C-alpha cells in the first residue's frame, strides 16, 4: 500500500513577537528583539499538536520536510517516518528558506503541504505554490487574517486525518491576507490580499477570513461600555485588543492600544500595550479574584484567545480564572458567526478544554446572552 506523502514546513520564529507586544515577527531584528524581551518560540509546539492527531496513522504516511526546527525535529520526535529534503544554512531561518523548502517538497510529489506560521509564512508559500496545489496552515503566528488556516492546530490535524483515511475532502480557494506590521505596531490595520491558495474545505475546521471594520451600532457599544465601566471598582481590569474593547477605553477618555493589551485600576491606566512578562508580574501582586479580563472576539472568525493577543498566555489566563473573564460583543457580531462557536486557541489544549462551554457574553447594558465556546476537535 502506498504511503500518504505529507509535506511539512514550520516557520520556527512565527509569532515570536506576540507575547512581548511586538505584534509579530516581521523585520530583520524582530526575532532577536523578541528573544531579548523574554519571548519563546511556539510554532514547533503548535505543529506538534497537529501531528499528534495523526499518530494512529504514522505507519500509513511519510513526512517530507526541512531540517531541524523547520520540521524534521518535530516530526521525528513523535516517531513519524521523516525524509529531510531541504537544509537551511543559518541558525535563524528566513523567508527564502521557506520558499526553498517549498520547492524541494513539491519536487517530491507530496500529497498536501502542511505549514505552521502566520500570514507572512502564508505569503511566502503562496509565492511558490499559487493556487495550483493544496496546502493547509497550522495557526502559529501573531497575525492570522488569511483563510488558509485551520481554526486550531488540532483542527489542522483533523483535516489531514480525513485525507489520510481516504475520506472525500473538497478543495476550495482561500484568500492569503497580510497586514503591514510597521503600521500595525502604530495601531493602524492596513490589510492587503496577496493571492489565493487551494485548501481542503472542511468548514468545521477552517477559519474564515477576518472581518475588518469598526462596529457601526454606536448606541449598542455605549451600552456595553456602560455595563463594564459600572463594574470597575478596586479590581484590576485587563482590557484586550479590538474595536469593541477600544470603545470602552474611549468612553473612559483613556489612551487605548487597539492592537494590544492595556491594564486599568479604578478607571485609570496602569499600563498601555503591556507584555506578557509585565502582565505576569502585575498579577503576582494581586490576590486571586481581584483581576478581571475584558475581551472581545475577532469578527467573522470567533476567536477570543490565540489571535493577536498572545500576551494573554495560558499562565495569565489560569491566574485570572475563567469566572473572571468578561466577553463583550454586539449581537450582530455574534449573529455573523452563523451559530459557529467562539474559539479558544491558547496553545494549551487542557486549558482550551477547561474554557469550553457556554459563556455569558455582554451584549448591552445589563444584557447578556449565553454563547458556546470551544476548541474544535
Q: pLDDT tens, 76-123?
A: 999 999 999 999 987 778 899 999 999 999 999 899 999 999 888 999
Say how far residue 322 (Cα) sits from the centre of its chain: 19
Cell for 297?
472576539
Mean pLDDT in order along the chain per 10 residues (377 residues): 88 67 52 53 91 96 96 97 93 90 95 93 94 91 82 92 85 82 56 87 68 61 91 92 91 89 94 92 84 90 83 93 93 87 90 89 87 79
- Residue 22 has a pLDDT of 46
User: Using CB atoms within 10 A of its CB, is residue 21 exposed (0-12), middle (13-18) or buried (19+)?
Assistant: buried
User: What is the DSSP annotation of 122-135?
Assistant: HHHHHHHHTTSSBE
What pLDDT is attached to residue 183? Answer: 55
Q: Are strands 325-328 and 357-364 parallel, antiparallel or unpaired?
A: parallel
For 217-227, how does the pLDDT look when each residue is reduced to its tens digit (9 = 90+)? 778 898 899 99
Q: pTM surpassing 0.85?
A: no
Chain-centre distance for alpha carbon 377:
16
Tell me what pLDDT residue 20 has. Answer: 44
Instruction: Round to whole Å and give the CA distance between 169 and 174.
Output: 15
- What whole-number distance in Å separates Cα of residue 186 and Cα of residue 21? 11
Task: Tell me what pLDDT residue 253 has.
Answer: 93
Give the pLDDT of residue 214.
Answer: 46
> What is the per-residue pLDDT for 152?
87
pLDDT score of 182 = 56
Residue 113: predicted pLDDT: 97
Supply 195's cell numbers. Answer: 493571492
Which residue intervals of 37-191 are DSSP H helices? 43-52, 72-77, 95-106, 119-129, 153-164, 181-184
Amino acid at each position: 500500500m502506498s504511503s500518504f506523502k505529507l509535506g511539512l514546513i514550520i516557520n520556527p520564529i512565527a509569532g515570536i513577537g506576540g507575547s512581548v507586544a511586538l505584534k509579530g515577527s516581521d523585520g530583520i531584528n524582530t526575532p532577536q528583539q523578541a528573544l531579548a524581551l523574554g519571548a519563546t518560540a511556539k510554532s514547533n509546539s503548535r505543529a506538534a499538536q497537529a501531528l499528534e492527531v495523526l499518530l494512529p496513522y504514522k505507519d500509513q504516511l511519510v513526512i517530507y520536510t526541512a531540517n531541524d526546527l523547520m520540521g524534521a525535529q518535530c516530526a521525528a520526535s513523535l516517531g513519524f517516518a521523516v525524509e529531510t529534503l531541504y537544509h537551511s544554512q543559518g541558525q535563524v531561518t528566513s523567508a527564502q528558506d521557506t520558499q526553498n523548502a517549498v520547492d524541494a517538497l513539491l519536487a517530491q510529489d507530496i500529497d498536501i503541504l502542511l505549514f505552521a506560521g502566520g500570514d507572512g509564512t502564508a505569503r511566502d508559500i503562496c509565492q511558490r505554490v499559487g493556487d495550483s496545489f493544496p496546502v493547509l496552515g497550522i495557526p502559529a503566528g501573531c497575525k492570522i487574517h488569511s483563510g488558509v488556516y485551520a481554526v486550531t492546530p488540532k483542527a489542522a490535524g483533523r483535516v489531514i486525518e480525513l485525507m489520510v483515511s481516504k475520506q472525500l475532502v473538497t478543495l476550495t480557494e482561500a484568500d492569503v491576507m497580510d497586514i503591514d506590521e510597521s503600521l500595525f505596531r502604530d495601531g493602524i490595520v492596513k490589510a492587503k490580499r496577496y493571492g489565493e491558495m487551494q485548501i481542503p474545505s472542511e468548514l468545521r475546521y477552517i477559519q474564515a477570513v477576518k472581518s475588518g471594520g469598526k462596529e457601526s451600532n454606536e448606541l449598542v457599544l455605549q451600552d456595553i461600555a456602560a455595563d463594564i465601566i459600572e463594574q470597575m471598582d478596586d479590581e484590576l481590569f485587563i482590557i484586550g485588543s479590538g474595536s469593541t474593547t477600544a470603545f470602552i477605553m474611549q468612553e473612559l477618555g483613556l489612551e487605548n492600544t487597539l492592537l494590544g493589551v492595556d491594564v486599568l485600576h479604578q478607571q485609570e491606566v496602569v499600563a498601555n500595550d503591556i507584555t506578557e512578562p509585565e502582565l505576569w508580574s502585575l498579577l503576582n501582586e494581586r490576590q486571586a479574584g481581584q483581576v478581571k479580563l475584558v475581551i472581545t472576539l475577532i469578527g467573522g472568525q470567533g476567536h477570543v484567545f490565540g489571535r493577536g493577543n498572545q500576551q494573554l498566555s495560558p499562565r495569565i489566563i489560569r491566574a485570572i480564572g475563567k469566572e473572571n473573564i468578561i466577553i463583550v460583543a454586539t449581537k450582530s457580531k455574534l449573529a455573523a458567526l452563523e451559530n459557529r462557536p467562539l474559539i479558544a486557541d491558547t496553545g494549551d489544549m487542557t486549558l482550551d478544554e477547561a474554557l469550553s462551554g457556554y459563556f455569558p457574553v455582554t451584549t448591552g447594558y445589563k444584557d447578556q446572552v449565553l454563547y458556546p465556546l470551544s476548541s474544535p476537535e
